[in-house]
Amino acid sequence: MGLEFHHETLGQRVLFGSGKAADNVAAEVARLGAKRVMVIASEFEAPIAARVTAQIEVALTHHDVVQHVPLETAERARAAAAEHGIDLLVCVGGGSTTGLAKAIALTSGLPIVAVPTTYAGSEATNVWGLTEAARKTTGVDPRVLPEAVVYDAELTVTLPAGLSVASGLNALAHCIDSLWAPRVDPINSALAVEGIRALGEGLPKVTANPSDLTGRERTLYGAYLAAVAFASAGSGMHHKICHVLGGTFNLPHAQTHATVLPYVLAFNEGAAPEAARRIAQALGAKTAVDGLNALRAALGAPTNLADLGFAEADIPLAVELSLAAIPASNPRAVDAAGLTELLSAAREGIDTRAVAWAERAAS
| Least gap, CB of 354 to ligand NAD (angstroms) | 29
> Which residue in 260, 269, 265, 267 sits closest to 241, CA to CA?
260
Q: Are 261 and 172 in contact (CB under 8 A)?
A: yes
Shortest reach from residue 124's CB to ligand NAD, in Å: 8
Least separation in angstroms between CB 363 and ligand NAD: 34
CA dist list (Å): 53 to 31, 149, 235, 276: 15, 14, 33, 43
Reduced to 3 states (helix: H, G, I; strand: E, B; else coil), residue 132 is: strand
- The closest residue (CB) to ligand NAD is 95
- Comparing CB distances to ligand NAD, the nearer of 233 and 361 is 233
Nearest to ligand NAD of 157, 285 (CB atom): 157
**Cβ distance to ligand NAD smaller for residue 117 or 189:** 117
CB 65 to ligand NAD: min, Å:
7
Query: How far from chain centre, in Å, is Cα 77?
Result: 22
* Interhelix angle 213-233/186-208, nearest 10 degrees: 150
User: To the nearest whole angstrom, how small is the minimum distance from the Cβ of residue 257 to ligand NAD?
Assistant: 8
How many Å apart are CA 250 and CA 132, to the nearest integer?
A: 12
List C-alpha distances in Å: 156 to 21, 63, 264, 269. Answer: 12, 19, 28, 32
Nearer to ligand NAD (CB atom), residue 112 or residue 355: 112
Residue ranges in contact with ligand NAD by CB under 6 A? 42, 44-45, 48, 67-68, 93-97, 99, 117-118, 120-122, 125, 127, 129, 155-156, 158-159, 163, 167, 170, 246, 253-254
Q: Is 52 exposed, middle or buried (0-12, 13-18, 19+ CB in 10 A)?
A: buried
Question: Which residue's CB is nearer to ligand NAD, number 46 or number 271?
Answer: 46
State which residue, 36 or 51, has the beta carbon closest to ligand NAD: 51
Sheet holding 148-151, edge to edge: 13-16, 148-151, 112-116, 88-93, 37-40, 60-62
Cβ-based nearer residue to ligand NAD, 75 or 294 = 75
Least distance (Å) between residue 118 CB and ligand NAD:
3
For the CA atoms of 165, 314, 140, 131, what is the dihedral angle to 10 degrees?
Answer: -100
Backbone angles phi, psi at 27, to 5 degrees: -65, -40
**Closer Cβ to ligand NAD, 66 or 298, answer by number:** 66
Least gap, CB of 140 to ligand NAD (angstroms) = 9
Burial of 154 (0-12, 13-18, 19+ CB in 10 A): middle
CB 141 within 8 A of CB 128: yes
Q: How far apart are CB 101 and ligand NAD at their closest, in Å?
A: 11
